[in-house]
Amino acid sequence: MVRVLAALRRLPLTTTLVAVILVLSVLSRTLWEPLASQPVVRTVAYGLPAFEDGAWWTVATGAFFAMQPVQYVPILLGVAVFGGFTEWRLGTRWAALALVVCHVVAVVGTATLLWLTRDHGYAWTTALARVRDAGPSAGFLGAAAAASVTLTPPWRGRLRAVLVTYVLLVVVHMGALADLEHVVGVGAGLLLGPLLQDRRPRLVPRRLTRRDYRLLASGFFVIAAVEAVIANFTTEEGPLAVTLSAQAQADDLAHRNLFGPIVLGVLWLWLARSLYKGRRRAWLWAVGLLAAVIALQIASFAHMVVVGEQGLVAASYDLVLNTVGLALLWAGRHAFRNPSPRRARRTIGSLVAPADEDQRAMATELLRHEGTVNRLAWMTTWPENRWFSSRNRPGYVAYRVHAGVAVGLCDPVAAREEDRSALLAEFADQVHAQGMVPCLFTVSAEAARHARSRGWHALQVAEEAVIELADLDFVGKAWQDVRTGLNQASKRNIRFSLAPLGAMPRGLQMQVKAISSEWVEDMGLPEMGFTLGGVDEALDPAVRVGLAVDADATVHGVTSWMPIHDVGGGEPVGWTLDVMRRLPGGFRYSMEFLIASACLTFRDEGCTAVSLSGAPLARSRQSGGDDLDRGTLDLFLDRLGATLEPYYGFRSLHAFKSKFQPVHDPLYLVFPDEAALPRIGLALSRAYLPEAGLRDLMALTRPTHA
């Protein structure tokens, strides 16, 4: 309720309009009795007849009523949604101006258009010239079109495309007076929006990309699917229906049914989905079907011309649209080259083709030789990854594919910054070419900068805790908990052991595996993956494992440390914390002792920094990056992090690392398109919990105790 009241206070114009329309509908009894059946209709409803009678005031009065009681539902919803959106984006004053201007232009402009075209042989406009209307729908649709100017691409274009497509489809197939007013109102809003931003309306053509062609082709068949269904409800007075002969209209009414249009709509939607993914086979089907349909339409059109049959306007509409669709498919034929998913898995160079140990060995050697700026980069060598490499430059991008998203892990691995930037661009182009969505997760500020230079968005998703080793001494009050851990370990005769896990005695290895298994079982959920390693990753010979072992050879705690290879490669310049496990009921300060002892060891070996890694799904509210785009995924990550906290303790871990006085470096998710955020969110959940079943996911929704 607090959020609702806050929204109402921020939208006073929208709230007032909804309240006024409701009150007037009750006072005038139009909420349950049609306005058209009441004498007051002549002094309230607008339209060309009202203006010819001198009732110009109806432009204002008609905006607060509906002709039929059922129309109050879309009117009130439209005012709340579209009017609220306009007021939210433009502010109350400019929203009021946009609503008034678009409503007046729509009503007066439509009346003028009908006055100019009536009685010239076109039955549709002649019939509409005798109709009265009421309602603010043209105003709030036009105002929403005007407010679209405040959105950033691609949302600006998408909102405009939806509005324009909606009003055009409805006016073509339904053809009521209100539908024609909607077209004029949206057109007025598109012209008004830039003026509200103190600039001239302008149409800037640009070269269509491969993604643009896919979106346009997919949109064409989505519209075709919608038309196939709504054509069943087209009125006899619509702009196309009135051009048909009486016999053609009678035959059409006699043969109307939903089964055929629904089947056709499903076929078009299948083609739309496959074309969006760039499937070559779908393109061939679409071209073949459209070519056949156009050939039949041309033959029918020629027959109508020869015999003088009515309906040329309707036939021309279908023929022109299908020709445009075919031309679009042919012009963008280079954008549809992706094989089917099954064939792609057998195709060399496909991003979904399985990786092998040779590719993993290549990636590991490149990381050691080239290095990179991301301290978490060793996780890019884990076997669950795939690796994209370039023919023109050294390096790679590690990624995983889930839910049609290629989720890159960490920054591209390469020694030179220009190579890392180029690898990101080539990876994105290849992913787009194969009909998937690219993104990179837990990347540094450098990769975020490169992504933004390409027009991508960057969203902070975690913070990396980094300890500088040069001046590390654990002196001062801030280090009290760490010194307590070291002192208590000394009193209990607990020693620190650091070595590759595979080189340790078998008894210690078995204890490490047992501690990890017990931890997983206690959670009640599968062990997470992606950016979180386990015992399997700790068995890598290049990874060092720290153990807290007492005099009885009992392991109280486990940490694993991945090497950091700086740009230029060579020996590790630091180490990154991965696995953290503590024996239940064991030494209380195991983690403080293990991390502090490892830091001292690495400092004595000449390393420059230790990374405590990034706690996924957790970050400081005071962290930087507020200038970056925040969006749907931000809310998703917050909710997912809060839900998983009782099981995995990400935010508790984030707070624990603050004991070591680290410097926090932000880690980002970079992605090209905000519309893909839901898919990216699903892909990330699949990446972190690849083995979670329905029962596991339902467990996340149950209340738990930390």
**DSSP result, 648-692:** H-HHHHHHHHGGG-PEEEEEEEEES-GGGHHHHHHHHHHHH-TT-
Nearest to 444 by CA among 470, 472, 468, 466: 466
Which strands make up the sheet holding 574-582, listed edge to edge? 386-389, 396-402, 405-413, 437-443, 663-671, 457-468, 609-614, 574-582, 555-564, 544-549, 495-499
Residue 10 has pLDDT above 70, yes or no: yes
103 is a domain residue = yes
Nearest to 405 by CA among 669, 632, 678, 680: 680
Residue 107 has pLDDT above 80, yes or no: yes
Same domain (yes/no): 274, 171: no
- Rounded CA-CA distance 498/149 in Å is 59
Same domain (yes/no): 158, 299: no
Residue 313 has pLDDT above 90, yes or no: no
Same domain (yes/no): 559, 470: yes
Residue 623 has pLDDT above 50, yes or no: no
Q: Once rounded to an integer, what is the mean pLDDT over residues 449-473? A: 89
Same domain (yes/no): 129, 194: yes
More confident residue, 137 or 121: 137
pLDDT at residue 185 in the model: 96
Same domain (yes/no): 197, 70: yes
More confident residue, 596 or 531: 596
Residue 120 has pLDDT above 70, yes or no: yes
More confident residue, 533 or 501: 501
Same domain (yes/no): 170, 292: no
Residue 255 has pLDDT above 80, yes or no: no
Q: How does residue 424 score in pLDDT terms, banded at 50, 70 and 90? A: very high
Q: Once rounded to an integer, what is the mean pLDDT over residues 181-204? A: 90
pLDDT at residue 358 in the model: 87
- Rounded CA-CA distance 311/156 in Å is 37
Residue 630 has pLDDT above 60, yes or no: no
Residue 644 has pLDDT above 60, yes or no: no
Nearest to 186 by CA among 292, 309, 78: 78
Residue 704 has pLDDT above 50, yes or no: no
666 is a domain residue = no
- Rounded CA-CA distance 692/694 in Å is 7
Domain at 510, CATH number = 3.40.630.30
Average pLDDT, the chain: 84
Least-confidence region, from 240-254, 309-323, 434-448, 516-530: 240-254
Last residue of a domain, one of 317, 338, 359: 338
pLDDT at residue 240 in the model: 73
350 is a domain residue = no
3-class DSSP string for 428-467: HHHHHHCCCEEEEEEECHHHHHHHHHCCCEEEEEEEEEEE
pLDDT at residue 89 in the model: 92
314 is a domain residue = yes
Same domain (yes/no): 188, 261: no
Residue 209 has pLDDT above 90, yes or no: no
Burial class (CB in 10 A: 0-12, 13-18, 19+), 554: middle
Q: Are 395 and 425 in contact (CB under 8 A)?
A: no
pLDDT in tens, 13-22: 999 999 999 9
Q: How does residue 629 score in pLDDT terms, banded at 50, 70 and 90? A: very low
Give the other-Cβ count within 10 Å of 501's Cβ.
22
pLDDT at residue 460 in the model: 85
660 is a domain residue = no
pLDDT at residue 311 in the model: 65
Q: How does residue 366 score in pLDDT terms, banded at 50, 70 and 90? A: very high
More confident residue, 614 or 480: 480
Residue 186 has pLDDT above 90, yes or no: yes
**For residues 652, 653, 656 and 661, what is the CA-based torsion angle, rounded to 10 degrees?**
-130
Least-confidence region, from 50-64, 89-103, 310-324, 444-458: 310-324
Same domain (yes/no): 190, 217: no
Last residue of a domain, one of 322, 338, 354: 338
- Rounded CA-CA distance 359/353 in Å is 12
Share of the chain above pLDDT 70, in %: 84
Please say whether the dihedral angle defined by the alpha carbons of residues 446, 448, 449 and 450, taken in this order, is positive or negative: positive
More confident residue, 1 or 9: 9
pLDDT in tens, 665-689: 999 999 988 778 878 888 887 887 7
Least-confidence region, from 49-53, 207-211, 417-421, 467-471: 207-211
417 is a domain residue = no
Query: Domain limits at 258?
Result: 207-338
Residue 449 backbone dihedrals phi, psi, to 5 degrees: -65, -45
Domain at 192, CATH number = 1.20.1540.10
Same domain (yes/no): 495, 588: yes
Same domain (yes/no): 260, 194: no
Last residue of a domain, one of 338, 363, 396: 338
pLDDT in tens, 572-586: 999 999 988 888 888
Please say whether the dihedral angle defined by the alpha carbons of residues 150, 152, 155 and 160, taken in this order, is positive or negative: positive
256 is a domain residue = yes
pLDDT at residue 254 in the model: 46
- Rounded CA-CA distance 85/155 in Å is 13
372 is a domain residue = no
Which two tokens mark 200? 């001239």
Same domain (yes/no): 214, 200: no
Q: Please name the residue that has the structure tokens 């992605």.
A: 671
Same domain (yes/no): 196, 270: no
Instruction: Tell if the pTM clears 0.85, that is, is over it.
Output: no
Residue 286 has pLDDT above 90, yes or no: yes
Amino acid residing at 16: T
Structurally, the chain folds into a number of domains equal to: 3
